[in-house]
Structure 1
Amino acid sequence: MSTLTLKGPYWVTVRQYRRTLWLVAGGVLLSLVSMVWLRYWDGQTVGTNQDNGHAVLRVAMDWAATAMMVLPLLVGAFVAGPMVARELESGTYKLALTQSVSPARWLGSKLLTAGAVIVPATLALIGVYRLGWGSVAGTWSFLWYAPDTYVSTGPVLVGQVLLALGLGALIGQLIRRTVTAMALTGLVTGLALLLVGQLRWSLMPVLTGTGPLNVGNLFPGVPASSWQGGYGLLTASGDHLPAEACWNRTKEWDVCPADLNVVGQYWEYHPSSHYWPIQLIETGIYLALAALALYAAFRVLRARHP
């Protein structure tokens, strides 16, 4: 990777981590080549008696989704440890400060360099995953709302890696111990992603459908590709009751006591058209949290190195 057009702390940062940068570029290229080959193999064997290509593609997609889910944790740990905490722990950052480089510029150059690599690489990996997803989309475990597929196919992953970048910068300064900072950043990043992920399906109002009480057809009229949320019984006054309300009284799913006044059933769902609105809203949350983490990181830096 050429560093001829870079100057000052940016040049130093690229020189320091050039092997990592080459590793990232090589990983993205290898992923692309592998996915293109798997798609080609799948296309050659589909509909034959030896449709091994599709089976291998599905396994590869499972592994790829797992790797994409772990990516933010790796980014946060690397930024917190090797990029920030290690230099603070060893004191090598002082050399940069003696070269007419302010503390803010020292940290900013590292984060900008990391971001300039991480964001394009993440977008490229999303594109690679979508290339393979085109052959398995809508099948079991590859539905659009499955947690790993949802994260791996949209801008949410970019927001997550940027949040990890900000948390890594903050925790790396607070801990100043390489291994400890890496572990703690991975933990905090994972908790943050888990908490925001719990809010995912409440970021946009669900659609509600109603119909007659028919236990043999729980969700009539709901597209098969929809994310299905809560469901239960509907009374004449419009109140919602738990799905087992009649069973608890009569031991029959579709026989209800008259006093419950049940007239049908209801169900809540997100159609596939909600994919992009939810993706963009959740991405905005991650970007806001990332901005807060970066702001706190520079505040800590200023307090310790005025």
Structure 2
Amino acid sequence: MSTLALKGPQWVTFRQHRRTVRLAGAAVVVAVVVIGGLRLWDAQTPDRYVQDGYWLPTNENTGYGSLRLAMEYFSIGMTLLPLLVGVLVAGPMVAREFESGTHRLALTQSVRPAHWLRSKLVTAGAVALATTLLLTAVHAFGWSRVGGSSQLHWADRGPYETLGPVLSAYVLLALAVGALAGLLIRRTVVAMAVTGLVTGTVLFVLGAVRWDFLPVTTITGPAVENASVLTMPEDGLIMGQGLIGVSGRRLPGWFCAPEPTPEGDCRPDEPVAVQYLDYHPASHLLPTQLIETGIVLALAALAALAAFRVLRARHP
């Protein structure tokens, strides 16, 4: 067991931030108690049979409603986890060391600067990843019951990040960005703000373009007067819907009578051939996650490399 014990700078880092480690553990315990308790409450009321083998929660099942609401907040909270990790590393763990000058003590104890920073990142990364994986497991336990209900679609912000490896990748990115910001700025509050801004920007930008990573699946159907609107097969994510002219060109507007109407929804300049619907099926979740995870890990590696280069330049 002695080989598994923390030593040197890692032990110092753990001791310095043991309160944060305890808070992370407490967060996991609270999540287990709340989600587990709500699952037990939900199980007290049997579902009602609908048809074709489908069962739905009854209106009297307040446990299900409470679980669904808790999962909404839980999913949103999980997206904030990378921001919290980055802020912690940038501020109390790195920038404050330089701001107060306590880093000099560590560097005079026969500890090389690179080893000093590596120890901090490894310790923080181990705690952050362990917390993320445990919370993800708790989320999966709740998701198995309420996934797919209102505000809990697999492509929504929150559920998407928590249903695969991408959240762990964002945690590692925040870790690296926090270290780089702390080394460059060396002011606790400013480094924390910059880290939160950079990490949040990456989350926002990739969240806005992630559904362009894979081509959409398109279905078509007749587009005549009184034709029914196409509906998605499976539990998909709709990306676009409209009409296609006889030339193959996608047209603005929607269904109407063959003759123009005051609303201007018709296309009198070109006959309509079919209607179309673009969507991502649920099977695109994992490939999209893997592509995004690769991008985020590449950014994390670049930020970590830059952090060690900055440290080496200032403390050769």
Q: TM-score, normalised by structure 2?
A: 0.89
Which residue in 2 is equivalent to 1:28?
28
The CA deviation at 1:70 is 1.0
Which residue in 2 is equivalent to 1:228?
238
Which residue in 2 is equivalent to 1:15?
15
Which residue in 2 is equivalent to 1:305?
315
Query: What are the within-5 Å matches in structure 2 for residues 126-141 of structure 1?
Result: 126-141=136-151
1:284 maps to which of 294, 299, 305: 294
- Taking the aligned partners of 1:265 and 1:7, their CA distance within structure 2 comes to 66
Which residue in 1 is equivalent to 2:50?
none
- Taking the aligned partners of 1:24 and 1:219, their CA distance within structure 2 comes to 47
Q: What is the percentage of aligned positions where both structures have the same residue?
A: 55
Query: What are the within-5 Å matches in structure 2 for residues 156-305 of structure 1?
Result: 156-213=166-223, 217-220=228-231, 222-244=232-254, 250-251=261-262, 256-257=267-268, 259-305=269-315
- Taking the aligned partners of 1:216 and 1:181, their CA distance within structure 2 comes to 58
- Taking the aligned partners of 1:239 and 1:303, their CA distance within structure 2 comes to 57
Contact 2:90–2:179 under 8 Å retained in 1: yes
Q: Deviations over 1:57-80 (max 9, x none)?
A: 122112211210111111110000
The CA deviation at 1:29 is 2.1
RMSD, matched Cα: 2.2
Q: TM-score, normalised by structure 1?
A: 0.92
The CA deviation at 1:267 is 1.6
**Could you say if the C-alpha distance between residues 216 and 93 of structure 1 is closer, same or farther in structure 2, counting changes exceeding 3 Å?**
farther
Which residue in 1 is equivalent to 2:42?
42
Q: Deviations over 1:57-115 (max 9, x none)?
A: 12211221121011111111000000000001001011110011111111110001111
Contact 1:231–1:243 under 8 Å retained in 2: no
How many residues are treated as equivalent by the alignment?
A: 303
Structure 2 gap segments, 5+ residues each: 48-57
The CA deviation at 1:246 is 7.1
**Could you say which structure has the higher helix fraction?**
1
- Taking the aligned partners of 2:75 and 2:110, their CA distance within structure 1 comes to 44
Q: Which runs of 4+ in 1 moved over 6 A?
A: 245-248
- Taking the aligned partners of 1:74 and 1:3, their CA distance within structure 2 comes to 30
- Taking the aligned partners of 1:46 and 1:31, their CA distance within structure 2 comes to 24
Which residue in 2 is equivalent to 1:5?
5
- Taking the aligned partners of 2:240 and 2:59, their CA distance within structure 1 comes to 41
